[in-house]
């Protein structure tokens, strides 16, 4: 069964460094998402992406964040200058029209 994959599974970075989290959505999916879950808190929407542009973004998704689909398979989330409060599990999700979202296993980001 096709699945969403994410790399790396765990990323440790120092405050102020740039990080890129990578996702490979399911191949025929058209809508892509990033969510995050700070330890012990609820899963929060960050951004949705369709037709090579951002469809919606939350207040969390400020100028420090960007997304890109650089080729036909990858979907990336970049954090330009990480802060301690960016430490969280980041989930990628994808879907086709009129379907539910399929989630990847997540990348745990630890900012020290």
The angle formed by the CA atoms of residues 72, 73 and 79, to the nearest 5 degrees, is 105
Chain positions 80 to 99 lying near another protein, rule: CB under 8 A, are 91, 93, 95, 98
| Closer to another protein by Cβ: residue 35 or 65 | 35
Give least dist CB 81 to another protein, A: 25
Give least dist CB 104 to another protein, A: 6
R_g (Cα) of the chain, nearest Å? 13
| Contact characters 24-63, another protein, x per CB under 8 A | -------x-x-x-----xxxxx--x-x----xx-x-----
Q: Strands of 25-100 (E only): list them.
A: 31-37, 43-50, 53-57, 65-68, 75-79, 88-95
Number of residues that make up the chain = 112
Report helix, strand or coil for 40. Answer: coil
Binding site for another protein (CB under 8 A): 4, 31, 33, 35, 41-45, 48, 50, 55-56, 58, 91, 93, 95, 98, 100-106
């Amino acid at each position: 069964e096709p699945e969403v994959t994410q790399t790396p599974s765990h990323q440790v970075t120092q405050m102020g460094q740039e990080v890129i989290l990578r996702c490979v959505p399911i191949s025929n999916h058209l809508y892509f998402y990033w969510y995050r879950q700070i330890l012990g808190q609820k899963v929060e929407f960050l951004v949705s992406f369709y037709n090579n542009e951002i469809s919606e973004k939350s207040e969390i998704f400020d100028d420090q964040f960007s997304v890109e689909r650089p080729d036909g398979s990858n979907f990336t989330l970049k954090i330009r200058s990480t802060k301690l409060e960016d430490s969280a599990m980041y989930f990628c999700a994808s879907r086709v029209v009129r379907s539910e979202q399929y989630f990847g296993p997540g990348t745990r980001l630890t900012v020290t």
